[in-house]
Amino acid sequence: MKPFDVVIVGGGGAGLYAAMEAMKTNPSLNIAVLSKVYPNRSHTSAAQGGANAALANKAKDDTVEMHIFDTIKGGDYLADQDAVQVLCSEAPKIIRELENMGTPWSRMEDNTIAQRPFGGATLPRCCYCSDKTGHTILQTLYEQCLKKGVIFFNEYFALNLSVNGSRSRGLIAMNMKSGKVEAFPARTVIFATGGYAKMYWNRSSNAAGNTGDGQAIAFRSGIPLKDMEFVQFHPTGLRKSGLLITEGARGEGGYLVNKDGERFMARYAKEKMELGPRDLVSRSIETEILEGRGFDSPAGTYIHLDLTHLGADLIKSRLPQIREMSMQFEGVDPIEEPIPIRPTAHYSMGGIDTDNFGRTAMEGVYAAGECGCVSVHGANRLGGNSLLDILVFGRIAGHTAAEEARKFEPGAIPEAEIKEQLDAVRGGMHSSGHYERYGALREELGQTLARNVGIYRESSLLQKGIQEISELKERFKKVRVFDTSDVFNTNLMQVLELKNMLDLAETVAAGAYAREESRGSHTRVDFPVRDDAKWHKHTLATLVNGKVVLGEKPVTMGRYELQERTY
């Protein structure tokens, strides 16, 4: 195959924005997007609430500076302040750009883009399209990419980077439709494969495919991952499925209520109440449950998200999707009765370590979106900042890769490497010596993570978690792929996804065990206080001779000094 200038792995918001921007930067480049699903299926579509930008349409006194401060404080001062500056100052521009390209934003009475309040934000600055914001943004980007003639390789599963010394020669991937392993020689590769929170499996709001494929590939190629221990639990997952009820439901005025009928957030965040930052609200709900103030049910203990006082009209017009989901997955109509919810693993703050331009430690390799970690979210992401992150840094990564592509010689990927990958995926895993069922391993991984590396963490639990993950990795060596066909072998794909999750789970648990403090989403019962003297730094996890080696990286500070974080 003719070498590509830019190969983008992942067709969600970050990947598509990167593709569009790369084509805009240099239309003569040969650019391709590889995705394991059709791009319009990507998990960006599930983001309901919105994207933050200080447009000051709703709150006339809103400023970029306030958005910056809210983000830094929300991230418990672990975010790099120069990166946050980029995120927030690019925000109004990128939201308007999307608007100019056709995103159907909801509107205010003066016909400008509508904004709503969101957790952890001083003022209402979350731009939205009812409760389908991510879906409409993804549609717009996909449409624009089709318009620009971006080349798509849909339903290709990325397997490995081809590395020559300190730089990448391109990517090796499997064509799901044919089962063939193919080489994509490329001057630059951008990873935009989304997050890894699906490793918590049933206690996760994520799509089945959010398995951190890009992070795992980068990690195996020796590229460091950053802040992997920070996994955000969203406060309001549906009790049975873990599926998400948007923060917009609280933004519109929903209450969190325990079994005593009490709006318990008054105890934890007097001022912000239900609109405190996600880590705080999740911990508050978990505490209510642990202290016996939740509702018991065979599906586990839960609390109520009450929207009944908002009235049928508002629920139908502003939150139609969550009404539908409550009815479909819990049998509850939020107009009539409260929704049963509990926290669910939702977002991974950690990811491939990048600079503010999307560059990773390896020449010619870039990362963006939830897959990367710049870091703009620090120890805890604010609602409405993830869509913004994928747009802003997707665009930046696309631009950087397009600018730098011609600096590098095109790679040629040796046949031996392709064969090696083919052997790895189609070799022994069908044989009778393999007997482990991937479903069981995956379930156990989710359970051990939720139990030992969950919302509340503690030394002995984490040790147990690390031990169990390593046992699961051992058992995985004997995993069986029962489906032997070449055409669309989803069984094989699920097994390969599990391998990625297992590799990453090790870095999450190792980081959580090492970090002896509580910061943002990372709460250590045995170290309940933030320890700036020892731990105001990023964690780096690198694979060295098959072992996770932890390192560190300083946090870039700026205008905002460390402060205690209260709401």
Partner 1 sequence: MTVPIDQHTEGGKKDVTFRVFRFNPQVDSKPYFDDYTIPVERGVTVLRSLNYIKEHIDASVSFRAFCQAGICGSCGMRINSLSKLACTTQVWDVLAKSREQGIIKVEPLRNLPLVKDLIVDMDPLVDKMKHYSNWIDSTMPEASMGKKEFLISEEEFLRYDKATDCILCASCISECSILRANKEYVSPAVLLKSYRMNVDSRDAIHEQRLSELVKDHGVWDCTHCYRCQESCVKSIPIMEAIHGIREDAIESRGMKDTSGSKHAEAFMSDIEKKGKLVEATLPIRTNGVIWTLQNLMPMAVKMIMKRRTPPPPPLVKSARGIKIFREMFREMTEHVKQDHKSHKK
The rounded distance, in Å, linking the Cα atoms of 534 and 553 is 12
- Pick 155 or 353: Cβ nearer partner 1: 155
Which of 1, 27, 38, 435 touches partner 1 by CB under 8 A? Answer: 38
Cβ–Cβ < 8 Å for 62, 356: no
CA gap 372, 358 in Å, rounded: 8
Q: In angstroms, rounded to a whole number, what is the distance separating the alpha carbons of residues 216 and 224? A: 10
Nearest residue (CB) to partner 1, 284 versus 489: 489
Which one-letter DSSP state was computed for residue 12? S
Q: Which is nearer to partner 1, 167 or 473 (CB)?
A: 473
The burial of 167, by beta-carbon neighbours within 10 Å (0-12 exposed, 13-18 middle, 19 or more buried), is given as middle
**Ordered DSSP codes for 39-78:** GGGSGGGG--S-EE----SSSTT--HHHHHHHHHHHTTT-
Q: Stretches 216-224, 318-326, 341-349, 363-371: which one binds partner 1 (CB under 8 A)?
A: 318-326
Q: Between residues 46 and 335, which has the closer beta carbon with respect to partner 1?
A: 46
**Choice from 67, 116, 125, 132 touching partner 1 (CB under 8 A):** 132
Cα separations in angstroms, 44 against 15, 16, 374: 10, 11, 19
46 sits near partner 1 (criterion: CB under 8 A): yes
Q: Which of residues 205-264 bind partner 1 (CB under 8 A)?
A: 207-209, 240-241, 243-244
In this structure, are residues 33 and 141 in contact, taking their beta carbons and an 8 Å threshold?
no
Residues 286-305 vs partner 1: string with x where CB under 8 A? -----------xxxx-----
- The answer to whether residue 37 forms part of the interface with partner 1 (CB under 8 A) is yes
**Contacts with partner 1 in 145-204 (CB under 8 A)?**
146-147, 154, 177
CA 305 to chain centre: 24
Closest CA to 496 of 442, 558, 432: 442
- Least distance (Å) between residue 298 CB and partner 1: 5
The residue range among 144-152, 351-359, 399-407, 409-417 that interacts with partner 1, by the rule CB under 8 A, is 144-152
Least distance from C-beta 472 to partner 1, angstroms?
A: 13
Q: Which is nearer to partner 1, 135 or 278 (CB)?
A: 135
Region binding partner 1 by CB under 8 A among candidate stretches 39-47, 162-170, 374-382, 546-554: 39-47
Contacts of 353 (CB under 8 A, 6+ apart): 223, 224, 225, 226, 360, 361, 372, 373, 538, 540, 553
Look up 167 and say whether it is catalytic.
no
| Catalytic residue chosen out of the listed positions 41, 278, 323, 395 | 278
Element housing 94 (H / E): helix 81-100
Among 1, 290, 296, 328, binds partner 1 (CB under 8 A): 328
* Min separation Cβ 396 and partner 1, Å: 14
| Residue 28 CB partners (closer than 8 Å, separation 6+) | none
| Dihedral pair phi/psi, residue 362, rounded to 5° | -105, 135
One character per residue 369-408, x = contact with partner 1 (rule: CB under 8 A)? ----------------------------------------
User: DSSP label at 363?
Assistant: B
> Binding segment for partner 1 among 38-46, 181-189, 302-310, 559-567 (CB under 8 A)?
38-46
The residues that bridge with 504 in the sheet, in sequence order, are none
Site string for partner 1, 406-425 (x = CB under 8 A): --------------------
Q: How far apart are CA 493 and CA 497, in angstroms?
A: 6
Q: Counting contacts by CB under 8 A, is residue 101 touching partner 1?
A: yes
What's the gap between Cα 342 and its chain centre?
Answer: 19
Provide the mask over 494-533, with x wherever binding to partner 1 is found by CB under 8 A and - wherever it is not: ----------------------------------------
Member of 7, 31, 43, 391 binding partner 1 (CB under 8 A): 43
Shortest distance, CB of residue 70 to partner 1, whole angstroms? 22
Nearer to partner 1, 106 or 386 (CB): 106
Tell me if 451 contacts partner 1 by CB under 8 A: no
Is residue 329 involved in binding partner 1 (CB under 8 A)? yes
Count interface residues toward partner 1 (CB under 8 A).
73
- If the CB atoms of residues 137 and 365 are measured against partner 1, the closer one turns out to be 137
Binding to partner 1 by CB under 8 A, coded x per residue (else -) over 71-100, reads ----------------------xx-xx-xx
Q: Which residue has the tokens 């397997």?
A: 159
CB of residue 528 vs partner 1: minimum separation in angstroms?
33
147 vs 407, beta carbon nearer partner 1: 147
Which of 138, 534, 507, 136 has its CA nearest to residue 348?
A: 507
Q: What DSSP designation does 346 have? A: E
**Residue 23 Cβ, how far from partner 1 at the closest point, in Å?**
11
Q: Which residue, among 313, 302, 386, 384, has the nearest Cα to 343 in the 3D structure?
A: 302
Asked if 502 and 474 count as a contact pair (C-beta separation under 8 A), the reply is no
- Is 106 or 385 the residue whose CB approaches partner 1 more closely? 106
Identity of the residue, 113 or 256, whose beta carbon is nearer to partner 1 in the bound complex: 113
Binding mask of the shown chain, residues 453 to 492, with x at each position contacting partner 1 by CB under 8 A: ----------------------------xxxxxxxxxxx-
SS3 487: coil
288 burial via Cβ count (<10 Å: 0-12, 13-18, 19+): buried
Q: Are 351 and 226 in contact (CB under 8 A)?
A: yes
So which residues are the catalytic ones? 278
